[in-house]
Structure 1
Amino acid sequence: MSDESGPAPFTAIRGDERHHVYADLAAKGPVHPITTPAGMTAWLVTGYAETRALLSDPRLVKGGWTSGSYAHQLPQDVARGIHTTMLNSDPPDHPRLRRLVTSTFTRRRVEKLIPRIQQITDDLLAEADGRGTVDLISALAYPLAIGVICELIGIPEAERADFREWTLPAVSPGIHSYEEFHEAVASLLAYSRELIGKKRRDPQDDLLSDLIAARDDGEGLSQDELTSMIFLLVIAGHETTVNLIGNGMRALLTHPDQLALLRKRPELLDPAIEELLRHDGPVQSTLSYRTVEPVEAGGVTLPAGSVVYFALVAANRDPRTFPQGASLDITREAPTHVAFGHGIHYCVGAPLARVEARIAFRTLLDRFPDLRLAAPAESLTRTPSLIMNGLSALPVHLRLPAAA
């Protein structure tokens, strides 16, 4: 909902409508007044240069747990239990939290997961093979992403069924009502508290047990920081990967020349993933920031106390930085995209998302040489959200029909 620029990108869900709305915004400038789906007056930054500059500007802050969605409406113990995250923290709390997390969420831990990620991918695709039409979101992207993040944290398989029901309202405040949001996050918080208690009594070889044990100058994570970390990892950790796989496969299947090039030159997979992240990234907008003093950006002065969001998918197609940014080119040489954010809040889970995408794309392309869309691209819909940018479904044919 923009005050001056027509349709809202957050509820633009058909085909490439969302990107068209952002392109119209970008043509008018890099900074825009908006009204969020929850009815809040704010500013939306769509320019690439402005996004990188402001996300490194100490005059924009998070504000702690009180800056989280519905923080002042939720019971305080719930708000603290889900919003005391790195993404809502400022220095000096933020560096302490990030050190504690990165000391346990290491590259070695991610690399150790690779055989298991491959096994889950193989099992899911073996189960899907032979069906006529398959939704890649429900058949692969979601169960792979939630399975990996739950194994990383240490959540038993039998206890994962409710997560999809909890995560959709949690990533779409304003799109979903306060009541739906409250019910979802309270359920996840109650589960997280119970899980932490189990890990304290019986530590395992998993990320949550290590986070409980981690210390920085003798100080560990508080209970609210631990439950908030589970909230962040489960919500952001799996939704981002689901959308990366779904959006990425849609992009490849709707650009057959690029798909053919990737099949011919598999060594392009890593740069292809970066181009897919730029072209149609998994995160639509950052969580909110707030200005502590007036800030000038893109010819606009943001007054002190302004709420600011950064439209990452728009910044990654800014025509001033990415000529022909709406096109997909897996050989593109371009500035670094901001699909995972920028500055001190750059996504700590980015390496894991890339690994999962690499395995999913490579396995799909190797196993299914005739993979193709099972519906017109313009009929595919995205999930309404202020934060996430993902498809509600991606129907595909895995193989050509058998000869009669």
Structure 2
Amino acid sequence: MDANPLIPESRCPVSRVRIDSLDDMQKVLRSKAVEENADVSADNYICPNALAEINVREFQAGNLAMINGDLHRQRRRLLNALVRPEELVRFREDIILPSVERWMDRSVKKNEDGLYGCDLASVVELIFLEFAAKIIGIQGVESEEGMARLRACALPIFGGLSASHFEDREGVTRAGVEAKKVFVEEFFRPSLAFVKKQLERLDAGEIGEEEVPLNLLRMIATEAHESYHDESVAVNEAILFFVATTGTSAQAVLATIEYLSDWFEAHPEDRARIEDMEFISQALQETLRLRAPFVPYLTRLAVEDLEVGGVTLKAGDEVHAWVARAGRDEAVFGANANDFDPDRGVPEGISRYGLAFATGPHQCLGLRAVLGNDGKSGSHLRMVQGLFRAGIRRDPKCEAQVLEMRNLEDPRDRIPTYITFPVVLDKWSASS
């Protein structure tokens, strides 16, 4: 943990405090002395700037991740209904797994060497886009053209939401704002109008309850929380769900494929363990420990003085919680904490995935969606298993492309965001 000195042009007499040990971070994130703050998240707090203000306004202000107190508790309780255990089973069996088969069938092609392959980044993104469309309530994605149009919004919006972490912040912000316009005009507003019309038909007895499924847009249409009356809040809530169910999910699957591929090269005897869901779960959680939340750090604002362990905060301090770095804490995960090891022993009371889903009031809603209600049945796990059954390996002739993050001195903090991920599937056939 270290604190940088006051930056001269700062508007606030505060320090930027960095936390990178797991124990300290756990205590800070669980404390009522720190809160979420959109200005801190967008790097607009200590030194305000025009790009950061755009990031706050266009992507962060008012969404679930950036509110606190009673407002957060009310909205969180409301949104929990979208990730109930029975809903997650339905999403896995009726939406995600069927879409895996459909999009793989459409995307896998034979190359000039007679090998079957695809760009896995685009396929995984399409799969999770279908999930996002269902949980949000987005219409217009039934055709490949509609899905392609929505997919074109995904990576730029992810970048816009997290723009402060990228090297070309201006370009990333500009692309994100343009993608948001498409998302709002072509998907959000028409889909909301559709849900409202369906609700009118439901009230008139023309259709049954099953034809108006529970999703985010139904909550917005009925103003299940009064804050959803503000369209900007409703849009930013939808964007948060859009990014959380596409960008981070896709990156988690791709990174697990990468790490497990290396592991199997070094431990070929473990390939048979792809049939063991506990092993697959351990591998995914190990990946999350090393890389999630797929940006270098999370942020908080200290609203009260706090002293825990090696951390001293003063009210007004900006907090940077380096989550992936905490996941590599040797005091917790051992001397080889920087290495991927799905068989790693983890101390009692410590999650295998570290703080990948954060902790405290703002713990990620998607924890059970990723791992499943029992920790071994999540859609992400089944997807990874299926890909290795199909003999997946990285395409030796094509390198993956990544979106460049800001230059960070420590290689542990350079977390790749894959734009492309070319693979070969040795056990695929045209009839697969």
TM band (smaller chain): 0.7 to 0.9
State how far apart, in whole Å, the 1-side matches of 2:160 and 2:221 are.
28
Give the aligned partner of residue 152 of structure 2: 162
State how far apart, in whole Å, the 1-side matches of 2:79 and 2:418 are.
30
Alignment of 1:189-208 (within 5 A): 189-190=184-185, 191-203=187-199, 204-208=212-216
| Aligned length in residues | 365
State how far apart, in whole Å, the 2-side matches of 1:150 and 1:34 are.
45
| Identity score, percent | 16
One-letter identity of the residue aligned with 1:107: P
Deviation, structure 1 residue 245: 0.5
What's the TM-score once normalised by structure 2's chain length? 0.73
Alignment of 1:369-380 (within 5 A): 371-375=392-396, 380=400
Matched, 1:250 2:271: no
Give the aligned partner of residue 95 of structure 1: 73
Aligned partner of 1:44 among 14, 18, 23: 18
Partner of 1:359: helix, strand, or coil? Answer: helix
Give deviations 1:192-232, integer Å, cap 9, x for gaps: 3443233222243251344236777x857433443222110
One-letter identity of the residue aligned with 1:69: A
The answer to whether the 8 Å contact 1:382/1:392 transfers is yes
Aligned partner of 1:333 among 345, 363, 372: 345
Give the aligned partner of residue 279 of structure 1: 290
Matched, 1:58 2:25: no
Deviation, structure 1 residue 95: 0.4
Cα gap change, 1:375 to 1:325, in 2 (>3 Å): farther
State how far apart, in whole Å, the 1-side matches of 2:235 and 2:216 are.
10
Structure with bigger gyration radius: 2
State how far apart, in whole Å, the 1-side matches of 2:55 and 2:328 are.
40
Alignment of 1:293-308 (within 5 A): 293-296=304-307, 299-308=310-319
The answer to whether the 8 Å contact 1:170/1:235 transfers is no
State how far apart, in whole Å, the 1-side matches of 2:155 and 2:422 are.
21
State how far apart, in whole Å, the 2-side matches of 1:259 and 1:348 are.
35
Deviation, structure 1 residue 341: 1.0
Cα gap change, 1:44 to 1:201, in 2 (>3 Å): farther
The answer to whether the 8 Å contact 1:169/1:184 transfers is no
Deviation, structure 1 residue 34: 9.5
Aligned partner of 2:162 among 146, 158, 172: 172
One-letter identity of the residue aligned with 2:393: R
Give deviations 1:152-177, integer Å, cap 9, x for gaps: 22223125243235324313313321
Deviates more, 1:293-302 or 1:80-89: 293-302
Deviates more, 1:348-357 or 1:48-57: 348-357
Partner of 2:339: helix, strand, or coil? Answer: coil
What's the TM-score once normalised by structure 1's chain length? 0.77
Aligned partner of 1:121 among 94, 100, 103: 100
Q: Please, which runs of 5 or more residues in structure 1 have no aligned partner?
A: 1-29
Q: Please, which runs of 5 or more residues in structure 2 have no aligned partner?
A: 200-211, 372-377, 407-412
State how far apart, in whole Å, the 1-side matches of 2:285 and 2:55 are.
39
Cα gap change, 1:272 to 1:96, in 2 (>3 Å): same
Cα gap change, 1:260 to 1:241, in 2 (>3 Å): farther
Partner of 1:392: helix, strand, or coil? Answer: strand
RMSD: 3.6
